[in-house]
Amino acid sequence: MPLDIPFVRTVVLGWTSLLALDVLGLSAYTLNQTTDFLGVYLTYSVLGIATAVLHFSSVTAMIIADRLRDGAFTSKLSFQVGWLSFLSIMWFATGAKTAVYISHFPDCTDTFCGVTRGITTFGFIIWAILFGYIVILIMVGVRAGQAGHNVWMTDVKEVQWVQEPISHEKGDINSPNPTVAATYPPGGNPNSGVPTLTSQP
């Protein structure tokens, strides 16, 4: 059964956008707590807010553009791979930065530490989802290229997982496995003349 790329895209973008909103709320909470009580801010809080806002705004714009206009550049396979790869790096950095901070407080069980661990978990989950989707898109592009189709500038909605391979016409000299047979002159005697080689599929 072929993989429904447009459906997978909708699920990935929708789900990661919802998780990004969660990270935005959690990061805003930690930022508010540290600035109010300590007078400073933690780097992972700012990074989480920036990454979540960038993800939600850009993905929302991609979805709207895709709905309003067919063939929008934001829907091209190459653009999706490039931009989502950038977002996945941002999410990995967010998760890693938060994990490093919370690792200094392994026994902490208060609300602040719980929220911080939530940012770490959601950051890595979003990264994993985007990474998996990017791998699928790259595989689709490579498989299509092997089948003789260049889909990198094609709308993701029009891309299919299963591509028809290039077929070789019967008798095509470029067929990968031609069969060579000898044809003798009239009379059917192999010794009556020089055979002529013909290619048969």
Helix runs in the chain, H state only? 5-37, 43-68, 77-102, 111-146
Cα-flanking dihedrals φ and ψ of residue 199, to 5°?
A: -100, 130
Residues, the chain, total? 201
In this model, does residue 85 exceed pLDDT 60?
yes
- Residue extents of the structural domains in the chain: 5-158, 168-201
What is the pLDDT averaged over residues 109-115? Answer: 90
Percent of the chain with pLDDT over 70: 78
Residue 178's pLDDT is what? 45
Contact 74, 87 (CB under 8 A): no
Q: What is the DSSP letter of 190?
A: G
Encode pLDDT of 4-44 as tens digits. 888 888 899 999 999 999 999 999 999 999 887 777 788 99
Residues 32-41: contacts with CB within 8 Å, 24+ apart? 33/112
Residue 22, CA distances (Å) to 19, 72, 85, 138 in order: 5, 29, 21, 28
Lowest mean pLDDT among 95-99, 109-113, 117-121, 170-174: 170-174
Contact 131, 156 (CB under 8 A): no
Provide DSSP, 135-150: HHHHHHHHHHHHTT--
The mean pLDDT of the chain is 81
3-state secondary structure (DSSP) of residue 108: coil
Q: What is the DSSP letter of 76?
A: B
Rg (CA), the chain: 28
